[in-house]
Amino acid sequence: MPVTDTLCIDGVWRPAADGATREIIDPADGSVLATVAEAGVRDADAAVAAARRAFDSGPWPRTPVMERAALLRRVADLLVRDREEIALTESRDTGKTLAEGRVDVDDVTAAFRWFATLVESEPAGRVVDAGTPDVHSSVVHEPVGVCTLITPWNYPLLQASWKVAPALAAGNTLVLKPSELTPLSTVHLLGLLAEAGLPAGVAGLVTGAGDPVGARLAVHPDVDLVSFTGGLASGTKVAAAAAATVKKVALELGGKNPNVVFADACATQDGFDATVDQALNAAFAHSGQVCSAGSRLIVEESVRERFVAELAARADRIRLGRGTAPDVECGPLVSAAQLAKVEAHVADALAEGAVLRAGGGRPAPGPDLPAGGFFHSPTVLDRCHREMRVVREEVFGPVLTVETFRTEEEAVALANDTEYGLAGAVFSADTARARRVAGRLRHGTVWINDFHPYLPQAEWGGYGRSGTGRELGSAGLAEYRETKHVYENLRPAAVRWFAG
């Protein structure tokens, strides 16, 4: 595989200044999938300098909104054209199934379309009544400036699109740093932005490590805003680095998401089947490597045994394998390190008294399961409680813990007993109860009788340590705008505050 010049600075594709490279690993078998440029601090600085020039003296911040929206729509059209190619790249790079890769590309396309529509329809400003006809007062929105956008490995292109589309819609320039584990689809996106006609320098790309490259982008004095999606540990470092120059900061961090199941949701056979199915999807989609994964099942005690037995049986039937293979339902974890982390969590949980109902470790290699792949079986741990590490910490793998409750009050207390607050769900046939519980959950997204869907028109983000700020919705555009009040005196005269 040839070395690729994957840094895009000032519209030019180039290698790292010091020639460093990184091998991108195929998580399905541990082989080398591609080799990319490994940026360093010098490259990060060059990318910021280019974005700064493009913002301070380039055309993009002053390009009419209709033209910016048209460009986003051209990007969306190009994503549709390249759908299969990008889905395949995402599947190979992250390990997710090809079907999941296709959904991702469709969601990325929808994000570009949403922000095109939003920026056209949102008023550029508003006139404020100053209380006198002698003053014209208006509030206008302007781009923030140079934005650095740092993204994780689980949804590389999707997370990038939630940042790139609004940042460009609002007229900013940007430097994008994808996860060092999964940069390939982001490289493709930068090509599409250029093809759609984005002026050189407006969007830069540096492929490289969190430290030093992401860290440099977070602290750089010429950067005005940092939008970060990733883990809590890195997010707190980014927030601290950005504080030194009082940058605007948006953080989308982890989650430990409760899935609350009331017995009445399982009163009919159809209800039972649907609720088990949703719990399975909540926990094991993309092998549980989802920030909003429903990794904590909190089920009413009276249905626990029947519910968990069925869930565990279905978890054992999930077909594991290379994400690109037909009929595979779950791919590998992204890396050997992630696999080791998941294994350690399961071992700890069992040592702390959890009861293994499904999975538990690496599956035996087979025709669909290459020996070098980072596979872990979908795992169900029963009899868990809130003191266990596996219940408190984000595992980010195919591990579901089971806790039980007897009263609605207890269910709410358990669901809110987390330092995170990204997402949660309640399943109940009693509409009043479902809404009551949903209203009390301290999470940024709450599903009733469903799990995982989100809408580009609706805000996404976390309470507590799941982050600050919101992506998507109209707040997702507001993050990338400054607000300015212009007060115009139409009848200038001396104020005579001072007598002399």
Stretch that binds ligand NAD, among 119-127, 230-238, 269-277, 381-389 (CB under 6 A): 230-238
Q: How far apart are CA 456 and CA 441, in angstroms?
A: 22
Order of strands, sheet of 467-468, starting from the edge strand that comes earlier in the sequence: 12-14, 7-9, 203-205, 173-177, 146-150, 225-229, 248-252, 467-468
How does DSSP assign 138-167, residue by residue?
EEEEEE--EEEEE--SSSHHHHHHHHHHHH
* Site mask for ligand NAD (CB under 6 A), range 405-424, x = bound: -----------------x--
Catalytic machinery residues:
252
DSSP label at 455?
-
Q: Which is nearer to ligand NAD, 150 or 339 (CB)?
A: 150
Q: Which is nearer to ligand NAD, 152 or 321 (CB)?
A: 152
Q: How far is the CB of 142 from ligand NAD (least distance, A)?
A: 26
Contact 102/34 with Cβ under 8 angstroms?
A: no
Q: How far is the CB of 212 from ligand NAD (least distance, A)?
A: 9
Q: How far is the CB of 393 from ligand NAD (least distance, A)?
A: 10
Strand-pair category, 355-358 with 379-382: antiparallel
And the tokens for 60?
Answer: 């993009």
If one asks whether residue 254 binds ligand NAD (CB under 6 A), the answer comes out as yes
And the tokens for 244?
Answer: 């030194």
Q: How far is the CB of 338 from ligand NAD (least distance, A)?
A: 8
Contact 255/420 with Cβ under 8 angstroms?
A: yes
Nearest to 25 by CA among 94, 125, 72: 94
For the chain, the first-to-last Cα distance in angstroms comes to 79
Stretch that binds ligand NAD, among 1-9, 252-260, 377-385, 473-481 (CB under 6 A): 252-260
Stretch that binds ligand NAD, among 64-72, 97-105, 228-236, 403-411 (CB under 6 A): 228-236
Q: CA torsion, points 284, 287, 290, 296, in degrees to nearest 10?
A: 40
* Site mask for ligand NAD (CB under 6 A), range 150-169, x = bound: xxxxxx---x----------
Among 112, 115, 374, 396, binds ligand NAD (CB under 6 A): 396
Alpha-carbon distances, residue 410 vs 63, 192, 475 (angstroms): 54, 50, 33
156-185 as b/e: b if 16+ CB within 10 A = bbbbbbbbbbbbbbbbbbbbbbbbbbbbbb
Stretch that binds ligand NAD, among 14-22, 47-55, 177-185, 369-377 (CB under 6 A): 177-185
If one asks whether residue 100 binds ligand NAD (CB under 6 A), the answer comes out as no
The residue ranges of DSSP E strands in 383-469, in sequence order, are 399-405, 423-427, 445-448, 467-468
Q: How far is the CB of 94 from ligand NAD (least distance, A)?
A: 11
If one asks whether residue 179 binds ligand NAD (CB under 6 A), the answer comes out as yes
Stretch that binds ligand NAD, among 39-47, 104-112, 146-154, 475-483 (CB under 6 A): 146-154
H/E/C letters for each residue in 56-110? HHCCHHHCCHHHHHHHHHHHHHHHHHCHHHHHHHHHHHHCCCHHHHHHHHHHHHH
Q: How far apart are CA 124 and CA 112, in angstroms?
A: 19
Q: Which is nearer to ligand NAD, 97 or 445 (CB)?
A: 445
Among 43, 82, 93, 180, binds ligand NAD (CB under 6 A): 180
Among 92, 113, 163, 177, binds ligand NAD (CB under 6 A): 177
Q: Which is nearer to ligand NAD, 48 or 299 (CB)?
A: 48
Nearest to 405 by CA among 261, 255, 280, 279: 261
204-223: contacts with ligand NAD (CB under 6 A): 209-211, 214-215, 218
And the tokens for 209?
Answer: 């490590």
Stretch that binds ligand NAD, among 226-234, 259-267, 346-354, 382-390 (CB under 6 A): 226-234
Among 4, 161, 173, 234, binds ligand NAD (CB under 6 A): 234
Q: Tell the burial category of 491 from Cβ atoms under 10 Å away from its Cβ (0-12, 13-18, 19+).
A: exposed
Helix, strand, coil % over all residues of the chain, rounded to 5: 40, 20, 40
* Site mask for ligand NAD (CB under 6 A), range 64-83, x = bound: --------------------
448-477: contacts with ligand NAD (CB under 6 A): 462, 466-467
If one asks whether residue 93 binds ligand NAD (CB under 6 A), the answer comes out as no
If one asks whether residue 90 binds ligand NAD (CB under 6 A), the answer comes out as no
Among 229, 257, 377, 379, binds ligand NAD (CB under 6 A): 229
Q: Which is nearer to ligand NAD, 180 or 479 (CB)?
A: 180
Contact 158/182 with Cβ under 8 angstroms?
A: no
If one asks whether residue 238 binds ligand NAD (CB under 6 A), the answer comes out as yes
Stretch that binds ligand NAD, among 15-23, 59-67, 175-183, 314-322 (CB under 6 A): 175-183
Q: Please give the residue ranges that form the binding site for ligand NAD (CB under 6 A).
A: 150-155, 159, 177, 179-180, 209-211, 214-215, 218, 229-231, 234, 237-238, 252-255, 291, 394, 396, 422, 462, 466-467
